[in-house]
Homo-oligomer: A and B are copies of this chain.
Amino acid sequence: MQVKDCFVSAPGKAILHGEHAVVHGKVALAVSLNLRTYLRLKATATGKVCMNLPNIDTFLCWDLSELKQLVPYSCAKREELKCLDPELLRRLREFVGVTNGKLDTCNMATLAFLHIYLSVFGSGELPSLTVSVWSELPTGAGLGSSAAYTVCLAAALLCASGAIPIPLKEWDHTARWCQEDLELINSWAFQGEMIIHGNPSGVDNAVGTWGGMLRFLAGKIIPLSRVPLLRILLTNTKVPRSTKVLVARVKDRINKFPSVLPPVLDSVDAISCTCEKVLSEMTSEPITGEHYNILEELIDINQHHLNVMGVGHPALDTLCRVTLTRGLHSKLTGAGGGGCGITLLRPETDSSVVQSTVQDLTDCGFDCWETSIGGPGVQQHSRLSVKDEVLDVLNQY
């Protein structure tokens, strides 16, 4: 079977407002982060399936004949695969060589790939192909890098199999799928996330699929139709932290101060709702400085609230202080206790200011990217629309 080549990308994810509060029944706003994961799928005639993940130094090839042996366990129809097939997963783990113990990033990426590949093609002939992936996202930083990866895998493999059409027209640079196809991509990506994370919320793959902004409340994910693209700096303090420990810390603090903390969660809920309203206004009326003033104030207030919840960190204080000296406002994003922060840039913020700020933050030992939030979800690219640096990496394979 000969498949069609394709080039896809999917964005990372940041929490704009509502991290931690969402655990206690409040609204959170998740946004796409335009640090993207790029995947190139190339048809080959080698009789092999190859996977190149240069970010994690993983380069693997399997003979189709090897993979065919796993097929009987993956022949269930796509529509029936709403949850993972434990028997397929067991066989895959055995095949990859991890029968128990904690999986490393390489093993998880391999399992997710093979699971989607075998499930998508298992009912027919297995195609010979090479998948190469390059990501701008740091891994393990709470930025949805695994979901961006599984969304790209799902989109490219579903396209290659013909389960969804190739949306790119001759004259397009990029193209997206219709709602129904996106739902299929999202459900396959979610399966990949289950393999990697065990019990994911589904927010990361939804953001990777739909992009823009999502409202997340009590397990329900609602994509928001129109949001403006916002320039930001994304900073990784590189301070390691455990989301589980931080979630437990907030819970302990609520138990310790049962009258002081709950109103703070209510205030965070109101911040998310106010922010959603302001962003919606920014798409329907002329954007003014006052819109940005409000966004900045909400960022500052929420950062104080997150400190009150006990998930701040001196490195995050440094981020806020350093950016504020340039007139820029920052908050942690995600679990906190270190990890990443976002800094809002205004449309008129001069690139010299941005460069100086990036330099200041780099001097603090942080990694820092100028990017945006609210951009598109998974999309197909023409070769021309992919940045040279990404092409340079992927063309090596």
The chain A residues found within 8 Å of chain B, CB to CB, are 256-257, 259-261, 263-264, 266-267, 270-271, 273-274, 294, 297-298, 300-301, 304-305, 307-308, 317, 321
Chain B residue with the shortest CB-CB distance to A259 = B270
Q: Which of A260, A263, A264 has the most CB of B within 10 A?
A: A260
Q: Which of A259, A261, A298, A321 has the most CB of B within 10 A?
A: A259
Question: Within 8 Å CB of A271, what residues of B?
Answer: 260
Residue from B270, B307, B308, B321 within 8 A of A260 (CB atoms)? B270
CB distance from A109 to the nearest CB of B (A): 40
CB distance from A387 to the nearest CB of B (A): 39
CB <8 Å contact, B260 and A263: no
Interface pairs (19), CB distance under 8 Å: A256-B297, A257-B274, A257-B297, A259-B273, A259-B274, A260-B267, A260-B270, A260-B271, A260-B274, A260-B301, A261-B267, A263-B264, A263-B267, A264-B267, A267-B267, A300-B308, A301-B308, A304-B305, A305-B308
CB distance from A267 to the nearest CB of B (A): 4
Question: Within 8 Å CB of A259, what residues of B?
Answer: 270, 273-274
Chain B residue with the shortest CB-CB distance to A271 = B260
CB <8 Å contact, A308 and B304: yes
Chain B residue with the shortest CB-CB distance to A298 = B260
CB <8 Å contact, A263 and B257: no
A65 CA to B257 CA in the complex, in Å?
Answer: 64
Question: Within 8 Å CB of A270, what residues of B?
Answer: 257, 259-260, 263
A260 CA to B271 CA in the complex, in Å?
Answer: 6
Question: Within 8 Å CB of A266, what residues of B?
Answer: 263, 266
CB distance from A95 to the nearest CB of B (A): 52
CB distance from A158 to the nearest CB of B (A): 42
Question: Within 8 Å CB of A300, what residues of B?
Answer: 307-308
Chain B residue with the shortest CB-CB distance to A257 = B274
CB distance from A129 to the nearest CB of B (A): 51
A297 CA to B257 CA in the complex, in Å?
Answer: 10
CB distance from A223 to the nearest CB of B (A): 24
A260 CA to B294 CA in the complex, in Å?
Answer: 12
A259 CA to B308 CA in the complex, in Å?
Answer: 18
A257 CA to B269 CA in the complex, in Å?
Answer: 12
A267 CA to B307 CA in the complex, in Å?
Answer: 14
Question: Within 8 Å CB of A263, what residues of B?
Answer: 263-264, 266-267, 270
